[in-house]
Chains A and B, each alone.
Chain A
Amino acid sequence: MPLLGRLDLDARPLVRAALTTVGLGVLVALGNRGGRGLDPALLGYLVACLFACFGVAYRYWAWVERPATHMYFRHTLRTLRSRKALAALLRMALLGLDQLLLQRFIGKRSLKRWGAHALIAWGCLLAFAVTVPLVFGWVRFTSAGTDASRYQAWFFGFPAGSFPLDSAAAFITFHMLDWAALMVVAGCTLAFLRRRQDEGDSATQRFDMDLAPLLLLIAVSVTGLLLTVSVSFMQGRNYGTLAFLHELTVILLLLSLPFGKLFHIVQRPAQLGVALYKAEGEAEGRVPCRSCGEPFIRANQLRDLKALYTALDLGAATHGPRTHHLELCPRCKRRLLAKAQWQRMGGAFDPFADLPEWAEPIADPQTLRS
């Protein structure tokens, strides 16, 4: 524990992360038939993947334990364990299509941002979809028996068809990573251009949070593309050095996953849970503001936020025994601030309170001479 204390790591997420990593290890071993499917050249990547898994899992479990996050996590778990699970899963799948795959909400933030983000996201997804099974040994290719012109594909150690070396399928398959790399480079370039133009982003962006991930992604893609260049156009010259460089950048990328901007890939699905939560709250109804009477806060969120306030030591934010600050709508909170200041400044007056007469016609204005 003293070591843990110094590292500022929490025990429970640590245990969970370790279990997650072991779980992944078991899946890898099962999938590659106890190591028989492993490509020795990719061992370094495998080790990095396991480390990244540990890091991401630790960060994820620690994040989920934050009181505010737990509020939603607990709700999603409860839903998935209830009778509503099937409907919820279906809804989450549809939402996932819209928000995670098509990312249409980013398009509403800005079309340029969506373009850049889609290229990067889909490029990365494609690349990982190709490389992770290869690294884990879940998928491999060998020469088909003695026929050197054909390739045999293996999935989880089972033969899964063969195809000729010079076929279009082969060309597309073996260059999949090149397509992915090109997409990522294009996306990152667009992102840089957009960031330079956008006054808001250029003011608030930080190198470590916003620019470094883009640079790292470009480095991975370019070194990967150079491997192809080396093989196809340079008779394999410098292949070894390039392969080392590529491996280095990929490992850096994997290990940075838990720390930087890219962690949002793991966090983002929480959005689906929030959507469920909101839908459920709408069904339950909105609670009216204690001041203006307009319904505004969903009943479940009011309950959970009150509990959260207590957990966060914010429980004192109440007015008298019956009114919680959360029960004032944002507009009334703003009005309260101004009203409190106005009272301290001296308060109001009604200049019409003591007018001697009103709404009475002047009897005969012509005769009222000075």
Chain B
Amino acid sequence: MAILPQSLDQLRTAFGPHLNLAPPHGWDADPVPDRLVETHCCFCGQQCGIKLKVKDNQVIGFDPWEEFPFNKGKLCPKGVKRYLQGNHPDRLTKALLRTPEGFQESDWETAMARTVAKIQEIQEKYGKDAFAVLSGVSLTNEKSYHVGKFARLGLQTKNLDYNGRLCMVSAGAGNKKAFGLDRAANSWEDIEGAEVIWVAGSNVAECSPITTDYIWRARDKGAKLIVVDPRITPLARTADLVLPLKPGTDSALTNGILHLLDKWNLLDRAFIENHTQGFEETLRAVKDCTPEWTSQMTGLPVAAIEKAARMWGEAKTSFLLHARGIEHQSKGVDNVLGCINLVLATGRIGRPNCGYGTITGQGNGQGGREHGHKCDQLPGNRDIENPEHRKYICEVWGCTDDELPHKGISAQEIMNAIHAGEIKGLLLLCFNPVVSLPDNQFTAEALAKLEFFVVLDFFASETAQFADVILPSALHEEDEGTSTSVEGRVIKINKAVEPPGDARPDWVILNEIAHRLGRGKYFDHFTSPEAIFNELRVASKGGTADYYGITYEKIERQMGVFWPCPSLDHPGTPRLFEGGQFAHPDGKARFVPTPWRPPMEVVDAEYPVWLTSGRVVFHYLSGTQTRRIGWLVEQCPNPYLEIHPKLAAKYGLADGDAVEITSRRGSLVLPAKVVMTIRPDTVFIPYHWPGNLGANRLTARHLDPVSKIPEFKVSACQLRKTTPDRIPAELHELQRMAYEARTNQAALPGQVF
């Protein structure tokens, strides 16, 4: 039974999060590094180049890598402090086994034997598919590919999915529908020359900070910036036009804009005629989407909607960027398609300074969604139900079609199936669903029902604490491999240090499990990440995400290679769709109508306030890493409720007051942060924390019917002012830790001002 073996306090004492405050030997040590390792940041899909300073098998600091073309030395604070995730007091170096007294350290053999025995027991008793795998896309391409193969051929289960399901799937599905291929259409270089930049549902400044400079460089040349977001983010603050719409009304806005583009004849008819399909049908769908209707739906002034349509329609070049704000919805795919419709209608794609891109969130959010990591996918972004595709992969893997499972269920559906008792065993890596899935009490209940739960992680995350066995895995800087950045640029992660103790890279652990399960013939030849990559190259060959021509040597020489790269002499493809050639068999892009659908949950008399969630610049996703880095916690120790003064006044709230936020799933008590930079009908909570500090206690398990992404960004809630003593003790503990970090850091003498 996978309930927590100890109290939360005991677990926190044993596994943290504790804070790493200073480099290995303290601030005064002045060590001279043995070497500098050119690699990339592990936080977020920008995959900025960074150099790590290494001494005596420890990462002791960072240095900017100014030669790397994407970020040219620029880094956000997570990147600057990322080296502090190593040499961490919470780091797992031995396998842990759950016992009635709590977690006990174990030798590797015992932990491994128990894991394998349990897998076999559950699969014999309940069938192969009763054991599921949940994975994540902070993993390299090699590991992502390897997990996909491990689940299908090692465990022989169809039920594999990944946390990209909470991230990139709406964008991926939209891109595949419209373009026949799933990748940002351009390298970021094209942003710089655009006349108009449209940013929808993306807090660029906090979630992908390096992209800010690309946007500013365009603005230096006169580009106009339109930002669509219910909050005034740091980028929106200076924008030429801000469209602070109601949460969950993005497709209404894009429909309204398309309506105006048609009405004012700001369309590229020739492009539509020659390079697209489905325009007439789409136009019919927006026939009634007048500015007045759009204004009513989105809560935006008619003038602002018309201004946006003018700015977008009259530009000669443009770049459209979107991210989770529009994708984390039960119509995430529709929202993406609505944006793509605007791009296609003006024909501004596939040529210099014209482009479109979705900003990936996780470290390998792009590459990790291409190579068979998803429940319905095979390497090279192939379809697991397509007989041709299955045949090719069976050939590459040397298995029969019978051996290759069919389509499984998605991440949230796996959790639902666990809760329903249909899935009995789970192997999980690179994923912290207790924090990151919606409705976190449901997730905890589900995990408690597992008969056997094994987790691979370098820290005992909140999810790992439910496990029966925790196997210590390697950090980003402890293994090599490739990942694919937001631009579709395949880059090389280099190994800086050896993993400590019994910790080892995930692929080594999975190899061993597969071998012990008697499936070694499919895995024993993987002796290095490069060996895995070379099989991935072949497996992706001929798919839309074709990596065949990419080699480690070529990546290092060119500082990254843009896929598709079908042959060894091919330099890679920074800009897709040139000459209006799209990836559908007929070479044409598809317009897809996006008739209005409301969010699954809307505000009403009982739950009258929109709730949305998002990130802060100091934390990465579920915070397993960043909530352990002292300086980052110092800057943002705890969650809070962002609320407009008008709404705050309605509930008698002042800045810092305790407020109880209740949705149909549960309730939280957090301090209020009163700011005028959010819609007065909407509140916002950053989501990086677990349990009763987690925004995901309130969010719903409503999924997009196509992408199966949960609707994180739109819920209805009610607010109530409450007493400060109801603020959870955990929040005070976090503030105390941050305070200590500030005052203790290297015993810094006080600064007067």
Listed in ascending order, the chain A residues whose CB lies under 8 Å from chain B are 108, 110-112, 197-199, 296, 329-331, 349-352, 354-362, 365-366, 368-370
Contacts and interface: CB of A to CB of B under 8 A. Distances in A.
B596 interface: yes
B244 A351 contact: yes
A370 B679 contact: no
B556 interface: no
B604 A355 contact: no
A355 B299 contact: yes
Interface stretch (B91-99, B193-201, B284-292, B483-491): B284-292
B681 A360 contact: yes
Q: Please name the 8 residue pairs, one residue from A and one from B, whose CB atoms are nearest each other, closest first.
A: A365-B598, A359-B681, A358-B680, A351-B242, A361-B603, A358-B681, A370-B596, A370-B288
B753 A370 contact: no
B753 A330 contact: yes
Contacts of A352: 244, 644, 676, 679-680
| Chain B interface residue number, banded | 35 or more
Contacts of A349: 242
A279 to B, nearest CB: 15
Nearest to B294: A370
Interface in B586-602: 595-596, 598, 602
B255 A110 contact: no
Interface in B710-753: 749, 753
Contact of B596 (A356, A357, A360, A368): A368
Interface in B620-659: 644, 646-647, 650
A354 to B, nearest CB: 5
A352 B650 CA distance: 17
B232 interface: yes
A217 B573 CA distance: 66
B605 A361 contact: yes
Contacts of B679: 352, 355, 358
Contact of B299 (A112, A198, A356): A356
11 contacts: A112-B28, A330-B753, A350-B676, A352-B244, A355-B299, A355-B679, A355-B680, A358-B680, A359-B680, A361-B605, A365-B602
Q: Which of A296, A358, A359, A368 has the most CB of B within 10 A?
A: A359
Interface string B21-58: 00000001010100000000000000000000000000
Interface string B228-250: 00001000100000101000000
Contacts of B32: 197
B753 A329 contact: yes
A362 B30 contact: no
B299 A108 contact: no
B288 to A, nearest CB: 5
B605 A355 contact: no
A370 B255 contact: yes
Contact of A357 (B236, B299, B605, B676): B299
A342 to B, nearest CB: 9
A108 B288 contact: no
A24 B286 CA distance: 99
B598 A362 contact: yes
Contact of A359 (B287, B296, B303, B608): B608
A170 to B, nearest CB: 43
Contacts of A362: 598, 602-603
B646 A359 contact: yes
Contact of B749 (A108, A197, A296): A108
Nearest to B650: A359
Nearest to B29: A197
Given A356-B295, A359-B609, A368-B297, 5 more contacts: A197-B32, A296-B753, A349-B242, A359-B647, A359-B680
Contacts of A199: 30
B604 A370 contact: no
Nearest to A342: B238
B30 A197 contact: yes
B255 to A, nearest CB: 6
B666 interface: no
Contacts of A355: 244, 299-301, 679-680
A241 B288 CA distance: 107
Contact of B30 (A198, A330, A351): A198
B676 A361 contact: no
B293 interface: yes
B753 A358 contact: no
A331 B753 contact: yes
Contacts of B646: 358-359
Nearest to B237: A348
A329 B286 CA distance: 56
Contact of A370 (B30, B289, B299, B749): B289
A240 B296 CA distance: 103
A349 B602 CA distance: 29
Contacts of B286: 370
A296 B753 CA distance: 8
A111 B26 CA distance: 13
Contacts of B299: 355-358
A111 B681 CA distance: 56
A99 to B, nearest CB: 14
Nearest to A366: B598
B36 to A, nearest CB: 15
A370 B602 contact: no
B543 to A, nearest CB: 37
Nearest to B599: A365
Nearest to A110: B28
B293 A370 contact: yes
Contacts of A357: 299
Given A197-B30, A361-B608, A370 B301 contact: no
A370 B236 CA distance: 29
Contacts of A197: 30, 32
A358 B30 CA distance: 56
Contacts of B244: 351-352, 355
B744 to A, nearest CB: 14
A350 B676 CA distance: 9
A242 B639 CA distance: 73
Nearest to A359: B681
Interface string B247-263: 00000100100000000
Contacts of B676: 350, 352
A329 B647 CA distance: 33
Given A355-B679, A359-B647, A362-B603, A369 B300 contact: no
A114 to B, nearest CB: 11
A127 to B, nearest CB: 30
Contact of A361 (B242, B252, B596, B604): B604
A288 to B, nearest CB: 13
